Amino acid sequence: MRGLILAIVCGAMILLAAPAPASADGPKCNRWTRFCKIASQAEGADAGGTPNAPPRTDKSHRQKPGDRAQEARKEFAAALAVYDRQLARYKRCLRASRNAAACGRAPESPWLGGDSFSGPGNRQITAGQAAAIAVARLQLPTIAPGIGPSPDLNRWNMAAVGYPLWLWADGRTHVGPISDSVGGLSVSLDAKVSSLAFRMGDGHSVTCPGVGQQWTTTVEPGAKSPSCGYSYTKPSLPNGSYTVAAIANWAVTWTSNGQSGVINVPAVDTTELPVGELQVLVR
Amino acid sequence: MPLGGRGFVTVGAAVACCALAAACTPEPVPNSTPSTSPTATTPTESQIERQMRLDYDAAENAYRANIAEQDRLARAGGVRQPTAALKSSAEGEYLSAAVTSLAYIKKNGWHGTGNTTILGVAHVGWQKKRVRLMSCEDGSHLRLLDHSANDVTPKGDSRFVQSLSVVRRGGRWRVSAFESKSVRVFEGEQCAA
C-alpha cells in the first residue's frame, strides 16, 4: 500500500516537473495569418482572432517553471530516500527469510509510474539509466521449476532415489520485443532466459546449458534428459522433502538512443520434492 | 508434469532498481551473475526500432500532407469547413487551428501565394500510438493578397518551430496537437539539421 502511495505521489511529481507536451497551453502560431494564440483562446474563439496578439498566460495561477522544478526535485529526493529505506528493509527480509514471499513485494521505485511523454526537453538521463528503469518496470513471468516425472504420477507420491529426473524451465522463457519510454528516451527490451540452475536441496546443484527439456509421458522409462537432469543419491523421506530451487537468469537486451547492452535479472522459484527409496524384492 | 508455483519470488525487479542507486548493492544470487554491462555498439534494427521508423515516417507524411493541403486551400481563398483531405491527416486542436486560419482568410476575401518551406522534421518522441515531431516551418515567403492583389499579409513572425503530437487512430496518423516557438533563424534547432 505504501509502495502504491509512493508511486502515485512520485508519478505526480514527475509529471509536474516534466516539460509540457504539445497539447499544453503554449502558443500556437499560424504561418499564414501569423497570429499566435494559447489553447484557451483558440477554443471557441472568433475565427478572425486577433492577429499578432501575444500569447497570454495566466501567471496568477502558475508557479514559475524554475520554482516548480526545484520543488519537484526536493520532493523527489525525499521520496527516493524513503524508497532506499524500503529497499534496504526488503533486502534484509530476503536474506533472513527462507520464504521470500513473506517479504511481500519489492518496493516500487519513485521512477516508476507517471513517465511523461518522451521528448528532448526531459532527456536528463543516460540511455543506460533509462534501460535500467525500463527493466525494473518489466514484469517478467514466473519460471517454475519443471521436474519430471512428477511424483504425483506414482502411487507413493515421491521421486525415487537413483531415478533420472528431467529438469526444465516451466513457463515463458522469452519476452519481447517490447518498448518503453523513460525520461524522454525510448527503450527497446528483449528478455530471454539465458541460463538455468537448480539447487536440488541435497547439497548438489545442477547448471543447465539452456532452459532444459520438458519431460513427457512419451519418454522411455528411465531415460535421462538430453540436456538437464539429476538423480538423487539419498532420500529425503522420511524426514520431509527436498526444497528444490530453480534459479533462472533473464538476460534483458536493451537498445536505446544508439546504445545497447544486457542487464541480467535473476529470478528464483522453489518447490518441495519428496524423494524416497524403492525396494525391489528379487526371488 | 511441472512442479512449483509455491514460494515464488522474483528478485529481478529489486536488482534492476538497485542499478539506479549507487548506494544500493544487489545481493548476489548463487549460480547467476547479475550485472549491468552496457556496451556501445551498432545494433541491428530490432522489431521495435523498425516499428518506430515506420511510425515516424507515417506520422511525418501525414504532417507534410496536411501542410500541403493547408497551403493549397490558402491559395484557393480559404475554407470555412475542413476538407476531407484536411481531416484525413489532422484532428483536434491542430485541425481546429488550421481551419480557424483558413476561415479567417475566407472571411476577409483573401487568397494566399507561395508554399510553406519545411526545413526539416525531427523525430523526437515515440509511443505506440503517438509520436512527437518537431518541425521547422518557414512561412516568410507566404503572402496574403486581397481582391485587388494588395499585400495584406499581417505583420508578425513567420518562422516557427512547431512541436507536434501525431496520433494513430484506426490505422491513420493525424496531427493532433501542437505548440509553436517563434524564431528568427532556425540554426541550432533540432529540426534544422
Which residue in A has a C-alpha nearest to residue B3's C-alpha? A146
CB pairs < 8 Å spanning A and B? 307
Best mean pLDDT range from A36-45, A53-62, B4-13, B108-117: B108-117
| Shortest distance, CA A129 to any CA of chain B (angstroms) | 7
| Shortest distance, CA A13 to any CA of chain B (angstroms) | 18
Reported residue count of chain A is 283
pLDDT band at B28 (very low <50, low <70, confident <90, very high): very low
- The better pLDDT of the pair A270, A61 is held by A270
- DSSP string over chain A: -HHHHHHHHHHHHHHHHSPP-TTSS--EE-TTT--EE-HHHHTT--SS--TTPPPP--GGG---HHHHHHHHHHHHHHHHHHHHHHHHHHHHHHHH-S-GGGG-SPPPPTTSS-PPPP-GGG--S-HHHHHHHHHHH--PPP-EEEEES-GGGSTT-SEETTPPEEEEEES--EEEEEEEEETTEEEEEEEEEEEEEEE-SSS-EEEESSSB----TTSPTTPPPSSSEE--SS--TTS--EEEEEEEEEEEEEEETTEEEEEEEEEEEEEEE-EE-------
pLDDT band at A157 (very low <50, low <70, confident <90, very high): confident
What would the pLDDT profile of A94-140 be if each residue is shown by its tens digit? 767 666 667 776 665 544 333 333 334 433 678 888 888 888 877 77
* Structural domain contains residue B20: no
pLDDT at B98 over 90: yes
Q: Which domain holds residue B125?
A: 47-192
CB-CB neighbors (< 8 A) of B112 in chain A: 32
* Structural domain contains residue B16: no
* Structural domain contains residue B186: yes
**What was the pLDDT predicted at B91?**
93
State yes or no: ipTM above 0.85: no
**Residues of CATH 2.60.40.10 domain(s) within chain A?**
119-283
Classify B72 as helix, strand or coil: helix
pLDDT band at B12 (very low <50, low <70, confident <90, very high): very low
Dist. CA A119–CA A235, nearest whole Å = 61
Reported residue count of chain B is 193
**What was the pLDDT predicted at A93?**
74
Nearest to B48 among A24, A128, A188 (CB): A188
Asked if B2's CB is within 8 angstroms of A32's CB, the reply is: no
Lookup result for grid cell 486542436? B93
Classify B180 as helix, strand or coil: strand
- The better pLDDT of the pair A213, A81 is held by A213
The dihedral built from the CA positions of residue B64, B68, B74 and B80, taken in this order, carries a sign that is negative
Nearest to B104 among A49, A146, A186 (CB): A49
Domain at A119-283, CATH homologous superfamily: Immunoglobulins (2.60.40.10)
The dihedral built from the CA positions of residue A94, A146, A225 and A212, taken in this order, carries a sign that is negative
| Shortest distance, CA B13 to any CA of chain A (angstroms) | 5
Dist. CA A137–CA A250, nearest whole Å = 14
pLDDT at B87 over 90: yes
Best mean pLDDT range from B17-21, B62-66, B169-173: B62-66
> What's chain B's average pLDDT?
78
Classify B26 as helix, strand or coil: coil
Dist. CA A32–CA B132, nearest whole Å = 23
Q: What is the mean pLDDT of residues B166-193?
A: 89
Q: Which residues contact B49 (CB under 8 A, 6 or more apart)?
A: A188, A255, B43
Report yes or no: B11 at the A interface, CB cutoff 8 Å: yes
The domain tally of chain B equals 1
What would the pLDDT profile of A10-57 be if each residue is shown by its tens digit? 444 333 333 334 444 567 889 998 887 754 433 333 333 333 333 333
CB-CB neighbors (< 8 A) of A270 in chain B: 4, 6-8
CB-CB neighbors (< 8 A) of B48 in chain A: 177-179, 188
Count each helix (H run) and each strand (E run) in chain B, helices first: 4, 7
Q: How far, in Å, are A149, A202, B1, B118 from residue A240 at the CA level?
A: 19, 12, 21, 75
* Cell (9 digits) for A109: 521505485
Nearest to A100 among B9, B13, B49 (CB): B9
Classify B44 as helix, strand or coil: coil
> In CATH, what number is assigned to the domain containing residue B59?
3.10.450.50
* Structural domain contains residue B19: no
The dihedral built from the CA positions of residue A206, A212, A216 and A218, taken in this order, carries a sign that is negative
pLDDT at B55 over 80: yes
Beta strands at A159-160 and A275-276: parallel, antiparallel or unpaired: parallel
The predicted model scores a pTM of: 0.41
State the Cα torsion B145-B149-B150-B155 to the nearest 10°: 20
* Structural domain contains residue B82: yes
CB-CB neighbors (< 8 A) of A99 in chain B: 7
- The better pLDDT of the pair A137, A276 is held by A276
Nearest to A266 among B5, B34, B112 (CB): B34
- DSSP string over B97-155: HHHHHHHHHHHHT-EEES--EEEEEEEEEEETTEEEEEEEEE-TT-EEE-TT--B-PPP
What would the pLDDT profile of A208-264 be if each residue is shown by its tens digit? 888 888 888 888 888 999 989 999 999 988 888 898 888 888 889 999 888 888 888
**What was the pLDDT predicted at B146?**
92
